[in-house]
A = this chain, B = another copy of it.
Amino acid sequence: MSYTLAELAERFGLEVVGAGDTRIDGVCTLSPGVPGRIGFLANPRYRAALAQTRAGAVVVGRRDAAGLTGPGLVAKDPYRAFAQVARLFDRNRDFGAGIHASACVDPGATIGEGVHVGPQAVVEAGADIGAGSYIGPACIVGSGAKIGAGSRLEARVYIHAGVQLGLRCQVQPGAVIGSRGFGNVMGPGGWEEVPQLGSVVVGDDVEIGANTTIDRGAIDDTVIANGVRLDNLIMIAHNCRIGEHTAIAACTGIAGSTTVGARCMIGGAVGINGHIQIADDVVVLGRAMVTQSLTEKGVYGSGLPIAPAREWRKTVARVRRLGKLEDRVRRVEQTVGIKTQDEGDDGQEQL
């Protein structure tokens, strides 16, 4: 399988530089590059690599077109154009329709046209698998669950009874959608279970990462809106609502009943409290501790970054004696006759 630059340009609305009949049979990184394959330049930091690359062609932005020393494609967004080209070479989504002999598909399930159900999979009664979907090996689709057309459950995905996924969703191995929300109430003999009677509703074009868990709602549903991207090992607790096109990086946990707005970018290993609201277009940097609602769009962060352990220990000690340092400053102010503007020390911060 290969394409000429001219074919690629026509297909994706790009501009050819150099020989349009240059054949491309795959993609490569810019450094060192692979002859016959196409690389890309999006970050100006790597501009110097343009001259040295062994790639057969390079996708560049308009500002870098003049820097091409061989054939190339010019795009408004070179990374996106590269992704479009790369998708032509992606065999990870290929599959043949049919139900594997070892799969357990209940006769009461509805299986659309062109669906693949892989080995050891389970599709329970009343489940509805939309046309053209791929249900990989060992996936479990609970009774009454609905998988929108063109979706892909990669392998060993768990979909609880009644959960709904929209069109063209993609779920990575080990993800759990619809586990019991963590609802417990203390009774006289210990914790008692608060039934979790809601479900999970996932919109269209959503990606959910490997071993990520999304709990079902307690009464109402947990909602993942259209176009959301969730990375691996994320926890979405019951009754959260994640807004359209929001992307969340790996290892982030969101406690129950929190609403995240649309088009947010949440970094990795962020922790978000329950019962708060995050506005649209908020960016939260990695490892931040989100203890309160963020009502304005913008970029937010927290945490003390890495230092040599010796310095880190000194920093911890200094932070711990900050109260004493404030006392010392106050005493000096009194001594030199400055009226102290005491900032208070009430610890009533809302955390």
Contact = CB atoms under 8 A, between A and B. Distances in A.
A48 interface: no
B312 A306 contact: no
A15 interface: no
A193 B83 CA distance: 7
A184 B291 CA distance: 28
A98 interface: no
Contact of A172 (B176, B303, B313): B176
Interface in A173-191: 173-174, 176, 179-180, 182-187, 190-191
Given A156-B156, A343-B324, A193 B87 contact: yes
Contact of A321 (B186, B312, B343): B343
A155 to B, nearest CB: 5
A197 B34 CA distance: 14
Interface stretch (A2-10, A17-25, A59-67, A330-338): A330-338
Contact of A300 (B186, B207, B308): B308
Within the oligomer, what is the number of copies of this chain?
A: 3
B351 A285 contact: yes
Interface string A107-134: 0000000000011101000000000000
A68 interface: no
A245 interface: yes
Interface in A313-351: 313-326, 328-329, 331-333, 335-338, 340-341, 343-349, 351
A238 to B, nearest CB: 10
Contacts of A337: 335
A288 B331 CA distance: 33
Nearest to A40: B219
Nearest to A89: B197
A202 B349 CA distance: 39
A317 to B, nearest CB: 5
A335 to B, nearest CB: 5
A190 B317 contact: no
Interface in A183-216: 183-187, 190-197, 205, 207, 209-211, 213, 215
Given A122-B137, A291-B306, A315-B319, A172 B179 contact: yes
Contacts of A158: 155-156, 173-174, 210
B317 A319 contact: no
Interface in A234-248: 235, 237, 244-245, 247
Contacts of A194: 79, 82-83, 86
B209 A179 contact: yes
Given A307-B301, A316-B305, A349-B313, A87 B237 contact: no
29 contacts: A27-B197, A80-B192, A82-B194, A83-B195, A90-B197, A92-B161, A102-B102, A122-B137, A138-B138, A140-B156, A172-B180, A173-B179, A179-B232, A180-B209, A190-B227, A191-B227, A233-B235, A250-B253, A255-B286, A287-B289, A288-B306, A289-B305, A292-B306, A300-B308, A301-B313, A317-B344, A317-B346, A328-B329, A328-B338
